[in-house]
Each structure stands twice: as C-alpha cells, then as structure tokens.
Structure 1
Amino acid sequence: MSWFIHSFWSDTLALLSIVGSITALLHLFLRHRDYRSAAFWTAMIVLEPLFSPLLYLLLGINILRRSGRRYRSGINEPWRDPVPDQPLPFSDTDGCAAQEHQQLARTLDRISRFSHTHGNRLEILHNGDEAMPRMLEAIRGAKESISLASYIFEATGIGADFVAELSAAVKRGVQVRVMVDDAGTRYSWPPVVDALAKAGVTVRRFMPSRMILRIITMNLRNHRKILVVDGRTAFTGGMNIREGNMVSRKPPHAVHDLHFEVTGPCVAQIQRVFAEDWAFCTNELLEGPLWFPDLSATGTTTAIGIVDGPDEDMEVMPAAFFAALNAAREEVKIVTPYFLPNAVLMAALRLCAVRGVKVTILTPGQNNIPIVGWAARTLYPELLSVGCRIFESAPPFDHTKIFLIDGVWSFLGSTNWDPRSLRLNFEFNLACHDAELFQRLSAEMDAKLAHSKEITQEMLENAPPLQRIRNGFVRLFIPVL
C-alpha cells in the first residue's frame, strides 16, 4: 500500500509539473512582451519544472492589468484632455532647441491622458522636516475637502499627527477621503487604516486581499503619493508618511527625500488621478466644485501629469522617459533610489552619451534593498564605457526621484528606474517645463553629488571576485526585482 501511495503522488507531481510547465511556457510565448524577462522565466521553467510555473503565476503574470482594465470600465472611461492644436508658448528658447522642446511637449501630450497646463508653481520641500509640517498645515487650514493617497502611511510618529489633523478636519465638516495601499499598510503596526477609521475618517485600502490573493498581487501596488486640499493645493513626489523621513529627529533608519507643493491648474490633474483610484476602491465619484474648483495661474511653470500603471496606462512612464532621453541634446541628470532600467532605457542612455549628451546618474551607495544595489552595479560598465558618469551617495539612504533634461525639463514624482515602478506599480509624475525650476533641482542634485563617490570602471574591475560573482548572480533576477 505504501508503494502504491508513493507511486501515486510521484506520478501526480510529475503530471502537474508537465502540465504547469507547458501552460506557463505557452503563456510566455503568446503573452509576455519583455524578451529578457521571458528568457529568464523560460530558463527557470525548463531547469526547474516543478515549482517555477507556480513562481511564474505569482511573480511573472501581470494579473492586475486585467483587474485595472475592469476598474476603468467600472468607473466609466478615464479622464482624457483633448490634445491642443497650438504649440506651447516656450519663450525661453529659440531655434533648434525650441523645436526639440516643442516636439517633446507634443509627444508627452499624446503619451499622457492629460495635457500641458500653464501658470503653475512648484515649491521644493526637503525631507519630512519641511514637507510634513507644510502638509499638516494645509490639512489644518482645509475648508471643504481633503484627498490623501500614500503607499506607506505609518500610524505612529509623524503619522499620528496626520491621523489627528485628519480627524479634526472631519469634525470641522471637511469632506476627507484617505486611501492607503494594502501592501503599504503592512510596513508598520498597528495599521493606520484602523486608527483613521476609529478617528472618524473615511479610509480605504487599495486592493485589499487576503491569503493567496495577497500573494498573487503583492508585486502590484499603488505607489502614488498625493495630497490635495480644497482642490487648490497639492503635494506630490516620492515621500511616504513615515517617521524615517523626519531626519532632524535622528530616526534609526533616516531617509532623505524631496517632495513638492503644487498650486495652479495642474492640481486638477492630480485630483483627477486620486478621484479615479477612489472610485475603484469605493464606487464613489468625486465630482463638482467641492473637489474640482476653478483654478487660476499662480506661477510660471508649464506642467503635465503622467499617469502610469498596470492597466491601460501601462508603460506610459517608460515611454515618456524614452522620449525625453531621445530629445536630450545637452545634459541628462537622474537621481533615483533604485537604478535598474529596462533594455530600451539603457540603450537610450547609451545613445545620449554617444551623441555627446552629458549623462549623470546618482543612486545610493548603500541601498535599503541590498540586492537592488548589487544588481545595479552590473549595469554600470556598459554606461561607463560610453561616457556616462555614475555616482553613489553616502548614507543615509536617499529616496529622491528627479530626472532633468537640457536646462528646462524636470520630471518628478513617484516612479523609480526599476522594473517594479516601470511596469507593475500605479505611479504618478509631473513633467515640468521651467528653466528656473530646473536650476533649483539641478542645484539640489549638485549638492548631493558633493557628498557622493564617482564610480569608475577600475573600481568595478578591482572589486573582490566573490562580490562580482554575487552581483552577477543577482543580475539574473532583475526582471522580478
């Protein structure tokens, strides 16, 4: 009898591995668009046919794309601005440069669901020490509505101050809506959604799920950071609501970051993105002057919102990055905490350097996710070989995300240069045309470079053999990092 049972389970496992492998390979050949990722998964499935098909189901299939499409259809068609017929009034450039800027502007207009808005003002906020008090002050002064979305929102430390102010706003009669990514709620205990609900705040998790469903969608997250007060003042960028951002308080794991206070017509685009995600979570439509008041010019920045996610907006941000790199003629500056660009963006960066464009990349020397830093170092040689300059910043960990082009274009928001952000996450960014904003952000990067170490080919070649072997092994997993 024991022989029969053993034989039965052996045959069953063999059959399951064969069926699972064939099914996974068929899906790969028919549906997978990234050839490097497809090659990785094909090798994994062929070499280990028992568990690899299950891993492919959990990590390799973009299940949320179909869910995202369903959520779009559930809240009607997503908002789309008409593409303007007239060129943008760029007065700070002329000749060939103006033509390149106009072409990039038109490209972004067609890539994004939104159009360029004029008369915006962006203020740079350093770390949580500047950003969090300004956000709390805005919440404290809210009269009609507050929209808040965050990937990570801790219930303790600075997060507790947000809970208190949001609760006070509700008691004043302000309409408050808060959305936190389900995965992001697990970074701290107790979950902030419980504290907010007890405080009377209307709050929802983005894509809440349990057990196996959480495992399947754990790589697919709402990574957007949005706060809109009274439909007129917005805060966005890459900063989460957590104590680690309060650098002056000397937390155990300090995080440097930049965030942005935004006023002007593009605030409506930021609000629109929140409203669509909120409708997905609750079926409640946020419309009317309470959420979308008339907005007038407050500054001189031209800005366009770029929405990216694993739905119909999929791979919009990589396309925008590629268009910007293709348009660059003088300089490219990138600050990102995670530098694992896909093959297309790697080729675009190399071509920039070959054309004579000055390419400078800044990423942390000690990454908070070590394997990402190890894998990133395997990409450096092909960029260094064509003249790109790569710097690694000293601790503490720098979470800043900015991308600067040719003295006038600035991209800022929640997107990292890695597979997770570029393909899996829901992200939001602003592309801004403003020479003065560029100069301010360029100065921020230069200040960081002053405390960073430049990486050379010689340094990489002289690294200990075991370190290079480790990095080379980790590189195999870039498609799923």
Structure 2
Amino acid sequence: MAYLEYLASEYWPHLALLLSIVVGGTAAVHAAMTKNDVRAAIGWVGIIMMSPLLGPFIYLIAGINRIRHDHISEQRNKSLKHDASENDLALANLGAIAPPQFESLHVLGDRVSHFPLCNGNNIQMLQGGDQTYPAMIAAIEQAQESIALQSYIFDNDSVGRQIADALARARERGVEVRVLIDAIGSKYSRPPITRLLRKKGIPVALFMTNPLGFMRMPYANLRSHRKVLVVDGTVAFTGGMNVREEFLTSIAGAETCGDTHFRVQGPVVLQLLSVFVHDWEFTTKENLPFKSWCGSTRGAPMPQVPARAIRSGPDRYIVGTHNMLLGAFAVAQKHIRIQSPYFLPDQVLLGAINTAARRGITVDIVIPGRNNLRLVNYAMTAQLDQVIRNKCRVWRTRGTFNHSKLITIDGAWSYVGSSNMDPRSLRLNFELDMEVYSTGLAQEIETLIDNQIEDADAVTLEGLAAIPFRKRLRNRVIWLASPYL
C-alpha cells in the first residue's frame, strides 16, 4: 500500500496523462465510428482532444445515443395494420384528392414512415388551450375502455390538475389508464404532477430518466417530445401542445401563448396508439394487451381524408421528418408555408427551402417575435439572412409567444405535430407528426398562418444589418452551437 501511495505521489502527472490519453482516445474513437454526420464527428473529436478529461465527460452526457435501434413493437405494428380492413388501409387514387406531384411524396412516405397512408380519417384543428383542453377532458370523461396519454410537459397547475382529476374519475369507472411523461419535461413544475397522479392510483412513468436528477435541462438530448392522447382506440389528440395553463386565456390573460392541436378519428388513431404502446413498453417493460387498447376505427365523421403518422427519433426512424420535409419542399409548385417557434434548419434543409424559392415557389416562414428560448432565438436570428437572400419571406409575429408547428404545401398537403424545424427535433428528440392530404385542412391552416402574417413584421436584410455589431456577434457565436440547442 505504501508503495502504491509513493507511486501515486511521485508519478501522478504521468498517470493523469496516461488516463487522459486512454479516456480521450476511447471517446474520440467512439465519436468517429458512430457519428454519421461528419460535422458532428469533427466537433466531438475536437472537444475531446482539446480537453481529454472534461471533453469525454461532456461527450458521455450529451453525445452518446443510448437508445436501442431495435423496435420491440414492430410486430405489433403489423397487427395494427391487419386489424383494419383493406379498404381502410388502401389509398386507391391519390390523384383524385391531391395534385399529381404528390404521388412521389406518397411513395416517400411509404418508405420513411412504415405506416400506410390510410383513408377514412377525420382531422379537426383546435386553436390554443381554450379549444384543446376542454375537448381532451370531454373525451376522457367519455372513455369506456382505455386512455393513453403522453406529453413532454405535464405541469402541476390548474389545467394539469383538471386532467388528472378526469383521469382519476375514468380510473374509478374501470378504464385502463397509462400516462407517460418525459423525465426532464416533468421538472417544469414543482411539485411534479407525477406525485398527484400516483396518489390517485394512475399508472405513470417517466421516459428516459433525467441524468442529472432534479435539474431542469431545456437543451438536453434524447427527450420524448411527443404529445398524444388516445381514448378507447377511437379518438386521438396530437400536435404541438403540452399540458400547461399558459395556453388558457382565463389563466394567462393577455400573456396567453398560442399553439395548435388536432382531434383525430379514423385509422391513423391506431398508428398514434402504436407509437405510445412502444414508448410505454420501452420505458416500463409492460406489454399492453392489443384488443383492450385498440377500438374500431371505422365510422369517422365526414369529411374523411388520407393521413398517416410519421415518427422520428434517435433510433431506426432517425431523420424521418427530415426526409419527409426534403421530399415535400421538392414537389412544391406554388406555395410553401412554414410556421415554427424554433426555425433552425440544417444546411441540407436550408438548401431545399432555398432551392424551392429559387424555382419561383413562394415561401413564407413565420416565427415568433417573442421567443421562450433566448439562445435559440439568437441563433435563429443569425441564420435568417440565408433564406432571405434567396427570396424567402420571413415574418416575426407580434404579441405573445406562439408554439405552433405547421407546414402546408400548395393548399393540399399538411404536416403537423410535435416537430420543430431545428436539429434537436430533427435528430435528437423523439417526435410524432402526421402528414395529411386534405385541401380543407391545408386551407384552414393557410388561413391561420396568413392571418398572422397580416399582423406580423417582415424580416429584411436591412433590418438584420441594423442590429448592433455586438449583438450580431453574440448571435453568430451562439449559432455555432445550434446543432446542440
């Protein structure tokens, strides 16, 4: 023992050097061999080599994808497909519903999603918490068999407690209830809603336990950003809205935040449920019985439209949304409308957007004038000139923060759900979206976006150049870290 203490005291610099070489070298090799994006690989190797001890620790926390690439629910997805009739699943003639250029996008969706594009769906847009939360609570109150609820943030506030009470009443009626909340998203309120749910006897689980325990980490990776409520396997709610009272005018008043959610009926409900079932099994190892959770999807009210779920995340479905958007921008012929609270597309998506604009397509991009994530807003501002120079029109809305994530193409195709247009959503988080072929829904979304544009401020190159140099430099420095914001 004395000899070891002597070696440690005399040769600790050499031992520290050896340790840093082994740890740093191992981490650098891992980054080089596992990162598919050359910029990410170079960045992580650089961080590790410049700080051989601290760098590997940062890489361990933020750089390693610990998510399994196998999907234990793949066989269940096949069962979900077989449960519906062939008429529900087959899309006989897309050309009768959407312009011809969307046929290639249909094929792309088949290969990206692995869910079929199904007829017979009814999709209703809900604006803000004033429409969304009462509709969700009403559906929960009518539940007879099962309720599956998943959210990134589920606050312990007036809205959260109303939903928790409705879930408890359903549980007392004998309804099977499961609630899945992201581990970091659960920390946005104190005490967390999980305590109340467990007190009421509601099964609740946290997705991907927070690596730093009690800390709230808004820029953490590998989070479940999905928002979905499925009741009796027949009606679902999905979109961009978390469970938070800041979306209710009766609570937030003039500071009410905006968002958009969707009420869904039809075969796509089973696709949304399938994603929840996998996430629940991944988190808790509980295999939910198929028959008791999947109801009949037939008989959705008119109008009925083709739609499918698109899942994406750091697993086998990585860059699913990224690929769908590349295809959608490529087939556009008239007008692209994008609304996103966090507009930070990578260079590939920027190229697709700019190429569409250079082809003569009108491209409108709507972003918040007030943003809830300051660093993202700085980075976003630093990148706007890259789309404006290529004739895209960028608009900053006035008023309160709007969390909506909406995209339409040529008044016929819509992409809605939880995905932001930033690296975190497109590569690092688990997201859930829908593509919908419907002129009615697309025009409803376009009207919503156009109304915001009428009361928005146009972002111009002159306006960006007028920003003081110190702020432009700050924005640019933060933009360098945009893949990790």
Using the size of structure 2 for normalisation, the TM-score is 0.91
Deviation sequence 1:211-251 (CA, Å, 0-9, x none): 58999994111111111111111100010001111134226
Amino acid at match of 2:193: V
Please tell me whether the aligned partners of residues 143 and 170 of structure 2 are also in contact (alpha carbons under 8 angstroms): yes
Quote the Cα distance in structure 1 between the aligned partners of 2:115 and 2:242.
Answer: 25
CA RMSD of aligned residues (A): 2.6
Q: 1:372 aligns with which of 369, 376, 386?
A: 376
In structure 1, the residue matched to 2:294 is: 292
Report the secondary structure of 1:250's partner residue.
Answer: helix
Q: 1:20 aligns with which of 11, 23, 30?
A: 23
In structure 1, the residue matched to 2:456 is: 452
Quote the Cα distance in structure 2 between the aligned partners of 1:405 and 1:479.
Answer: 26
Deviation sequence 1:124-151 (CA, Å, 0-9, x none): 1111111001111111111121111111
Please tell me whether the aligned partners of residues 122 and 260 of structure 1 are also in contact (alpha carbons under 8 angstroms): yes
Q: CA deviation at 1:416?
A: 0.7
In structure 1, the residue matched to 2:363 is: 359
Quote the Cα distance in structure 1 between the aligned partners of 2:157 and 2:132.
Answer: 17
In structure 2, the residue matched to 1:442 is: 446
Please tell me whether the aligned partners of residues 346 and 422 of structure 2 are also in contact (alpha carbons under 8 angstroms): yes
Please tell me whether the aligned partners of residues 177 and 202 of structure 1 are also in contact (alpha carbons under 8 angstroms): yes
Q: 2:221 aligns with which of 211, 219, 234?
A: 219
Report the secondary structure of 2:124's partner residue.
Answer: strand
Amino acid at match of 2:349: L
Amino acid at match of 2:143: A
Aligned length: 472
In structure 2, the residue matched to 1:422 is: 426
In structure 1, the residue matched to 2:326 is: 322
Deviation sequence 1:6-59 (CA, Å, 0-9, x none): 764433333333333322332232221112223333333344444222212221
Q: CA deviation at 1:262?
A: 0.8
Q: CA deviation at 1:325?
A: 1.1
Amino acid at match of 1:267: V
Quote the Cα distance in structure 2 between the aligned partners of 1:42 and 1:219.
Answer: 18
Quote the Cα distance in structure 1 between the aligned partners of 2:162 and 2:240.
Answer: 20
Amino acid at match of 1:10: P
User: Does residue 90 in structure 1 map to residue 95 in structure 2?
Assistant: yes
Using the size of structure 1 for normalisation, the TM-score is 0.92
In structure 2, the residue matched to 1:52 is: 55
Structure 2 unmatched runs, 5+: none
Greater alpha carbon shift after TM alignment, 200-209 vs 145-154: 200-209
User: Does residue 10 in structure 1 map to residue 8 in structure 2?
Assistant: no
Q: CA deviation at 1:86?
A: 6.5
Q: 2:343 aligns with which of 339, 347, 360?
A: 339
Amino acid at match of 1:17: S
Amino acid at match of 1:369: L
In structure 1, the residue matched to 2:110 is: 109
Quote the Cα distance in structure 1 between the aligned partners of 2:216 and 2:45.
Answer: 22
Quote the Cα distance in structure 2 between the aligned partners of 1:172 and 1:310.
Answer: 38
Quote the Cα distance in structure 1 between the aligned partners of 2:10 and 2:375.
Answer: 41
Structure 1 unmatched runs, 5+: none
User: Does residue 461 in structure 1 map to residue 465 in structure 2?
Assistant: yes
Quote the Cα distance in structure 2 between the aligned partners of 1:188 and 1:18.
Answer: 42
Deviation sequence 1:164-190 (CA, Å, 0-9, x none): 110011111111111111111111111
Change (3 A) 1:61 1:326: same
Please tell me whether the aligned partners of residues 184 and 216 of structure 2 are also in contact (alpha carbons under 8 angstroms): no
Please tell me whether the aligned partners of residues 401 and 412 of structure 1 are also in contact (alpha carbons under 8 angstroms): yes
Quote the Cα distance in structure 2 between the aligned partners of 1:391 and 1:39.
Answer: 34
Report the secondary structure of 2:125's partner residue.
Answer: strand
Matches within 5 A, 1:185-224: 185-208=186-209, 211=212, 218-224=220-226
Deviation sequence 1:423-478 (CA, Å, 0-9, x none): 11111100000001100000111122122211111111121000011011101111
Change (3 A) 1:378 1:87: farther
Report the secondary structure of 2:137's partner residue.
Answer: helix
Matches within 5 A, 1:307-318: 307-318=311-322
Please tell me whether the aligned partners of residues 36 and 479 of structure 1 are also in contact (alpha carbons under 8 angstroms): no
Amino acid at match of 1:54: F
Report the secondary structure of 1:121's partner residue.
Answer: strand
Change (3 A) 1:335 1:294: same
Please tell me whether the aligned partners of residues 342 and 421 of structure 2 are also in contact (alpha carbons under 8 angstroms): yes
State percent identity of aligned pairs.
36
Quote the Cα distance in structure 2 between the aligned partners of 1:36 and 1:314.
Answer: 17
In structure 2, the residue matched to 1:35 is: 38
Quote the Cα distance in structure 1 between the aligned partners of 2:47 and 2:283.
Answer: 36
Quote the Cα distance in structure 2 between the aligned partners of 1:446 and 1:7.
Answer: 72
Change (3 A) 1:144 1:466: same
Report the secondary structure of 2:95's partner residue.
Answer: coil
Quote the Cα distance in structure 1 between the aligned partners of 2:332 and 2:437.
Answer: 13
Quote the Cα distance in structure 1 between the aligned partners of 2:76 and 2:173.
Answer: 32
Quote the Cα distance in structure 2 between the aligned partners of 1:111 and 1:261.
Answer: 24
Please tell me whether the aligned partners of residues 341 and 417 of structure 1 are also in contact (alpha carbons under 8 angstroms): yes
Q: 2:237 aligns with which of 228, 235, 241?
A: 235
